[in-house]
Amino acid sequence: MSTARLSGFPEWLPADRIVEERVLDRLKYTFEMNGFAALHTRAVEPLSALAKDGEIDKEVFAVSRLHAEEGESVKNPLGLHFDLTVPFARYVVENAGHLAFPFKRYQIQPVWRGERPQDGRYREFVQADIDIVAEDTLADHFEVEIPLVMAQAFDALSELGVPGVRILANNRKLLEGFSRGLGLEDVTAVLRCIDKYDKIGPEKVAELLAQQAGADAAQQQQLLALAAIESSSGAFADEVTALGVEHPLLSEGLESLTRLLDAANRQQPGVVVAQLKIARGLDYYTGSVYETQLLGHESLGSVASGGRYDSLATNGKKTYPGVGMSLGVSRLMSRLVGKNRVVEASRSVPTAVLVAVTDEARREESVELARRLRARGIPTDVAPAAAKFGKQIRFADRRGIPFVWFVDGETGHEVKDIRSGEQVTADPEIWAPAEDDLWPSIRRVTQDA
Amino acid sequence: MSTARLSGFPEWLPADRIVEERVLDRLKYTFEMNGFAALHTRAVEPLSALAKDGEIDKEVFAVSRLHAEEGESVKNPLGLHFDLTVPFARYVVENAGHLAFPFKRYQIQPVWRGERPQDGRYREFVQADIDIVAEDTLADHFEVEIPLVMAQAFDALSELGVPGVRILANNRKLLEGFSRGLGLEDVTAVLRCIDKYDKIGPEKVAELLAQQAGADAAQQQQLLALAAIESSSGAFADEVTALGVEHPLLSEGLESLTRLLDAANRQQPGVVVAQLKIARGLDYYTGSVYETQLLGHESLGSVASGGRYDSLATNGKKTYPGVGMSLGVSRLMSRLVGKNRVVEASRSVPTAVLVAVTDEARREESVELARRLRARGIPTDVAPAAAKFGKQIRFADRRGIPFVWFVDGETGHEVKDIRSGEQVTADPEIWAPAEDDLWPSIRRVTQDA
């Protein structure tokens, strides 16, 4: 269950934080297995760097010293980052001399947006990003790698109760080439209209295309026909070609998207689907764009999005084109442990063994026993008070701690599995919990059953 | 090496982030071994919650929506948290009904302070906190547990090149009782003066005590005599008693500090030292207070501080007394990988094996081989381009990747240890790197040698 006395700023209870930690551990493992280096950037950026992309400035939280010295906030106003891509691009440019390109990094941090909080949408939320940036030119195969690593990451999460995903792909060049081929030169306006397809439906998109991009009826029809195309194989290219629009960028985009679909189908069949209405809101994408549907939770919106950005990271002289995706950890968590909880941790503490205390004067015997178990890698805590053993057992039970250790049972050391009630003699240098009990486990919750 | 184009907002290069991740992993492991549950709180708090403690309001960063709706920022102004104790206390009060007390948690997050950046002092920095809170009353043995767990944490860091530590302890009751016993009732003023002992020296403290606490010459001398007492055993109590001051709070404080020193000396001899000039700046401490010196880096200031706070977490009706310490991860990092670097990671990427690509048309053979190695838990990457093998080997070398895999050597699969140059036939289902090479290792750097 989450607590959010400040609307949009979720906090999890301890047992649910264990779920989140497991999610993060699996993401880290998958990303590192694939050669991505862990990176962190600071939480703040100059406002000028945050506000330059489209309408994003409306969502930014500004940061200023409460007692700023005269003129300080005016000189260099700061804001909290609203994603991890813009700070990463800035980091790459600043540190280019110390990085080896192509550079692959993952980054798991909170980001902040001043939007109205809704289901699965927060003002502070954790994102897990992977990106690859190169110097000058970025090979196309990286546009294949990114969504397939993301698919692997979701695969690694499936044991934690995360449903399967469909990664939806499109290509900005394809959309841009198609628009220009139709004679529509305000591509940004076209993208903005297409991006609303799922939200407002094709008829309203047609109206918008007329109003905002100056599209006539024929152009509207062509764009809607394009946007409706969806395919899990390279076959979509024929459908696009059949629309009879021609432009060099369209050909480039088609080729790139076909390559992605073909490679994805060979390597992880079915997980990537071409969906030509995918446009993405952010201005900086220049090639592939991706969104991700959580199967059965399509209304949640995309849980992992991104794309290729050729010109985001630049110092004017040199450019570092990149491609990446961002997984919405908090949004996933809203489904895993939210109102219709899917999973729960087997306990609310890391502790596997609680060492009972017989007498406060002999507490240090229990502390010493706990030290010995910890030295053997067993998470152990000591009872907070030398209460009656029944109360000490209830202390363990409330937290889901499976074992209680008695340092001076009738036969010396004894350990009780408080689930079965079984109590056995135990040697602190030998006894160990079952592997499943050593750390908290994550289990599915059966709702309405 | 750190990059900080924004003064006070450090960012680490990829190899140094590996060091930081190792530091964090060891801290997490130690804390979880001792029964502390992982927790995160949001980054923002109402300004009213942040500004109520002493002079802290001067250091707070305020947060506001850049395009706030009319009146929004006035209704509920927010700030970034400056520590993890205040948000934790708020979280405990808000979620008390869902928590099991005594509640032990650890929390590793950035905090923000608008102070002037200096060596080891940042405006954004990572803290690792452990705290124990109880309902109504907190047993004294938790005041022993907290510094000893922190000592274990530093012990776990010693393999990563972190020097040994001395945890300095005092007790606010001791200081308060001594002051009141001397007839000085403005205890806050006395504490503030004593707190400056190391910074300005005893003579200046005496002057301050006169000016700010109204202490006469005899009272000044007594307080300076107290502040000079230091002992690694319970013997300090006799020295205090010899000063002839009496007050019930002084006795309580002496007893508590003696108990801490005695238990610490039995459990981890020598690590905790009573130092009666330790006062801590924050208003909310009411019992034990702790600071931690990094041996050989005493000028860095405390690397782990905290204390007991009896009244911080309260909803007016119910109080949750707590005790905790906060380890300055960024401050430690400033010593580990700063100007006089102590350690370095053996490579800048997680990757153990780079799979070479013979021909772009056959890239997927290398991708497939990488998949097989990853499935066996070996972090693997694929060369970015089918360049000459010499260039692909240099790609691995620049990143410190120890092995390059050739999918079609003369005898089939071959793997080269690029450090020794040795190249052997390898079966992708059997071959594995040496355990030391599987993940990046942390090694000491010999400076000026």
Q: Which of A94, A360, A398 is closest, CB to CB, to B3? A: A94
Contact check, Cβ <8 Å, A63/B66: no
Neighbours of B286 (CB within 10 A): 18
Hey, what amino acid is at A88? F
Q: Which of B35, B39, B62 is closest, CB to CB, to A351? A: B35
Contact check, Cβ <8 Å, B11/A91: yes
A-chain CB neighbours of B7 within 8 Å are none
The residue among A132, A127, A141 whose CA lies nearest residue A99 is: A132
> CA nearest A95 in B: which residue?
B3
Contact check, Cβ <8 Å, B17/A39: yes
Contact check, Cβ <8 Å, A42/B363: no
Domain positions in chain B? 350-443
Contact check, Cβ <8 Å, A63/B68: no
Contact check, Cβ <8 Å, B367/A267: yes
| Residues of chain B where predicted confidence (pLDDT) is lower than 70 | 1-4, 52-58, 68-75, 282, 409-410, 447-449
CA distance to partner chain B, nearest, from residue A221 (Å): 37
CB B60 within 8 A of CB B50: yes
Compare A49 and A288 and report the one with higher pLDDT. Answer: A288
What's chain A's average pLDDT? 92
CB A351 within 8 A of CB A399: yes
Contact check, Cβ <8 Å, A385/B66: no
B-chain CB neighbours of A7 within 8 Å are none
B-chain CB neighbours of A24 within 8 Å are none
B-chain CB neighbours of A62 within 8 Å are 63-66
Q: Cα–Cα distance between B289 and B309 in angstroms, integer?
A: 9
CA distance to partner chain A, nearest, from residue B221 (Å): 37
CA distance to partner chain B, nearest, from residue A333 (Å): 14
- How do beta strands B103-112 and B37-38 pair? parallel
In this prediction, residue B119 carries a pLDDT of 84
A95 close contact with B: CB closer than 8 A:
yes
CB B118 within 8 A of CB B10: no
A-chain CB neighbours of B112 within 8 Å are 43
A53 close contact with B: CB closer than 8 A:
no
Contact check, Cβ <8 Å, A39/B1: no
A-chain CB neighbours of B114 within 8 Å are 65-68
Percentage of chain A beyond pLDDT 90 is 82
- Cβ neighbours of residue B296 under 8 Å, at least 6 residues apart? B163
> CA nearest B365 in A: which residue?
A267
In this prediction, residue B69 carries a pLDDT of 62
In this prediction, residue B449 carries a pLDDT of 43
In this prediction, residue B72 carries a pLDDT of 57
A161 close contact with B: CB closer than 8 A:
no
Residues 286-345 of B with CB under 8 A from A: none
Say whether domain A351-444 belongs to CATH 3.40.640.10: no
B137 close contact with A: CB closer than 8 A:
no
Instruction: Please state, in angstroms and as integers, the Cα–Cα distance from residue A308 to each residue in A40, A148, B245, B381, following that order.
Output: 21, 14, 72, 20
- Cβ neighbours of residue A37 under 8 Å, at least 6 residues apart? A103, A104, A105, A106, B14, B17, B18, B348, B349, B350
CA distance to partner chain A, nearest, from residue B65 (Å): 4
Residues 342-401 of B with CB under 8 A from A: 348-351, 360, 363-364, 367-368, 371, 374, 377, 379-381, 384-385, 395, 398-399
A-chain CB neighbours of B12 within 8 Å are 40
CA distance to partner chain B, nearest, from residue A32 (Å): 6
Quote the ipTM score. 0.94
B-chain CB neighbours of A263 within 8 Å are 364
Long-range contacts of A404-412 (CB under 8 A, 24+ apart): A404/A353, A404/A354, A404/A355, A404/A356, A405/A353, A405/A354, A405/A355, A405/A356, A405/A369, A405/A373, A405/A380, A406/A356, A406/A358, A407/A355, A407/A356, A407/A358, A407/A362, A407/A365, A407/A366, A407/A369, A408/A358, A408/A365
Contact check, Cβ <8 Å, B12/A37: no
Neighbours of A432 (CB within 10 A): 14
pLDDT exceeds cutoff 80 at A307: yes
Residues 188-217 of A with CB under 8 A from B: none
pLDDT band at A69 (very low <50, low <70, confident <90, very high): low
Q: Count of alpha carbons within 13 Å of B36, Cβ hemisphere only?
A: 29
DSSP code of residue A339: T
Instruction: Provide the b/e sequence for B384-420 (b: ≥16 CB within 10 Å).
Output: bebeeeeebbebbeebbbbbbbbbebeeebbbbebee
Q: Which of A35, A98, A385 is closest, CB to CB, to B1? A: A98
pLDDT exceeds cutoff 70 at A296: yes
A-chain CB neighbours of B95 within 8 Å are 3, 11, 13
pLDDT exceeds cutoff 50 at A54: no
Q: Which of A3, A66, A384 is closest, CB to CB, to B62? A: A66
pLDDT band at A67 (very low <50, low <70, confident <90, very high): confident
Q: In angstroms, how far is the first alpha carbon of chain B from the final one?
A: 20
Q: Which residues sit opposite B85 in a β-bridge?
A: none
Contact check, Cβ <8 Å, B17/A38: yes
pLDDT tens sequence across A202-246: 999 999 999 999 999 999 999 999 999 999 988 899 999 999 999
Q: Which of B38, B61, B398 is closest, CB to CB, to A100? A: B398
Contact check, Cβ <8 Å, B39/A14: yes
pLDDT tens sequence across A30-45: 999 999 999 999 999 9
Q: Which of B102, B142, B350 is closest, CB to CB, to A37? A: B350
Q: Which of A32, A94, A267 is closest, CB to CB, to B379? A: A32
Contact check, Cβ <8 Å, A139/B384: yes
In this prediction, residue B412 carries a pLDDT of 87
> CA nearest B72 in A: which residue?
A114
A-chain CB neighbours of B65 within 8 Å are 59-62, 114
B189: tokens are 């003023």
Contact check, Cβ <8 Å, B21/A38: yes
In this prediction, residue B265 carries a pLDDT of 92
B-chain CB neighbours of A42 within 8 Å are 6, 9-11, 124
Compare A440 and B76 and report the one with higher pLDDT. Answer: A440
The pair phi, psi for residue B280, each rounded to 5°, is: 70, 140
Contact check, Cβ <8 Å, A42/B112: no
CA distance to partner chain B, nearest, from residue A245 (Å): 30
B-chain CB neighbours of A13 within 8 Å are 95, 98-99
Residues 96-115 of A with CB under 8 A from B: 98-100, 102-105, 110, 112, 114
A-to-B residue pairs, Cβ atoms closer than 8 angstroms: 217
The residue among B140, B92, B105, B141 whose CA lies nearest residue A351 is: B105
Q: Which of A134, A379, A395 is closest, CB to CB, to B33? A: A379
B327: tokens are 């380890």
A13 close contact with B: CB closer than 8 A:
yes
In this prediction, residue A448 carries a pLDDT of 53
Fold observed for domain B350-443? Rossmann fold (3.40.50)
pLDDT tens sequence across A335-379: 999 888 999 999 999 999 999 999 999 999 999 999 999 999 999
